[in-house]
Homo-oligomer: A and B are copies of this chain.
Amino acid sequence: MKIDAVDFYYLSMPEILDIGDGSQDALLVRVQAGEHIGWGECEAAPLVSIASFVCPMSHSACKPVRDSVLGQRIDGPDDIRRIGDLVRAQSLDLLQADHTLSGIDIALWDLVGRQRGEPVYRLLGDHSATPKLPYASQLFGDTPAETLQKARNVRALGYRVAKFGWGSYGRGTNQDDANQVFAAREGLGDDGVLLIDAGTIWLDDVEVAALRLDALHACRVVWLEEPFISGALAAYRSLAALAGSVRLAGGEGCHTYHMAEQMIDHADLGYIQIDAGRIGGISVARRIAELSRARGVTYVNHTFTSHLALSASLQPFAASEPDAICEYPVEPRQLALDITSEHLVPDADGYLHLPDGPGLGLEPSLTGIAPYLVDVEIRVGGKTLYRTPKL
């Protein structure tokens, strides 16, 4: 087979709110090779990611992603990895390329899986997928009272693990933040596992971050996620040394294998969180899952969008028993739900199962996404380089 077409579909809610909710738009990718198709999703700014697929070449190491993908042979997993390497070499100076590649790589794994009738995790070498304990991932409420109610809701829905993040956390006083964390603990009950996400708010300021540790300890928080930006390794290490039983989590901002490797090796993380839609796709995510296991750092997916993205993000660590929990967005916008007609839903015991179907095991619903499709046109030098394709 060879890659005949790559189509990008930019989807958006009618209104985008200025909140930390990444499910308000999406960029789907459909790859065609002969009669076979596969779907993927970039967790990335849609317009910019499309531009990096179609832009004119600047020089030999700053080519559009398209030049390393269209027309390539795709007979199996080795070709997917080879295409990824080619994109990284030929788009070395095109920063956005990793985000664009991510959706393409996912779509290629889906395509090969469907063609062979195998789920992606089996192509990756895992015989079966271990059920994961999903953690209910959501934003803090605007007030502690709202957070309390949110935590009660997810407990009532049967979630044993919950994460609250973003919103006002880290933007007010230490006491404001403590009130939020205590509210989450109260709503979740004594036996729930509580995770807190600071959304990189302290950049690399260890001192300010450390002020929050008392409340996190008092509320038995299991991880503090992204106190700092991904590259601030020394800050992560310093805070980890102060944090005792509260382990640090991070890594969603990583867009290369080496960036994640450095976080695993030098940030003293308890948990490395990888978004397959940013890191370069399932191929790179899998390498990091293997590395983190070897290093004793727990691998967790980062997913805050559709169930297509959720399936993609679970494939790289499907069979890893030590990596037992997974992120599960519980308050996605309608768009994220409408992308697929089938959804991954926890079973009666609260566990999430990867689908057995070929490829990612679920696919976009064309009627579901049609209302969200954004009309885009990019013209350069009198030529149309991109126009939103028909569904």
Contacts and interface: CB of A to CB of B under 8 A. Distances in A.
A215 B256 CA distance: 32
A294 to B, nearest CB: 14
Contacts of A20: 59-61
A233 B258 contact: yes
A200 B48 CA distance: 25
A60 B20 CA distance: 5
A178 to B, nearest CB: 23
Copies held by the complex: 2
B98 A58 contact: no
Interface residues of A, number: 67
B380 A379 contact: no
Interface in A169-211: 199-200, 203-204
B382 A253 contact: no
Interface in A9-67: 12, 16-22, 24-25, 43-48, 50-52, 54-62
B45 A48 contact: no
Contacts of A253: 92-93
Nearest to A18: B60
Given A61-B199, A204-B258, A51 B56 contact: no
B374 A381 contact: yes
Contacts of A56: 12, 16, 25, 47
Contacts of A92: 200, 229, 253
A342 to B, nearest CB: 25
A145 interface: no
A380 B95 contact: no
Contacts of A233: 258, 262
Given A95-B95, A233-B262, A51 B47 contact: yes
Interface string A57-83: 111111000000000000000000000
A375 interface: yes
Given A233-B258, A233-B262, A382-B375, A96 B57 contact: no
Nearest to A375: B381
Interface of A: 12, 16-22, 24-25, 43-48, 50-52, 54-62, 85, 88-89, 92-96, 98-99, 166, 199-200, 203-204, 229, 231-233, 253, 255-259, 261-262, 266, 278, 374-382, 385
Closest 8 CB pairs between A and B? A231-B258, A51-B51, A47-B55, A96-B96, A377-B379, A48-B51, A48-B52, A45-B94
Given A45-B95, A92-B200, A377-B377, 20 more contacts: A12-B56, A18-B59, A20-B59, A20-B60, A21-B59, A25-B58, A25-B59, A47-B55, A47-B378, A48-B94, A48-B95, A52-B96, A93-B253, A95-B99, A95-B255, A229-B258, A375-B379, A375-B381, A376-B381, A378-B378
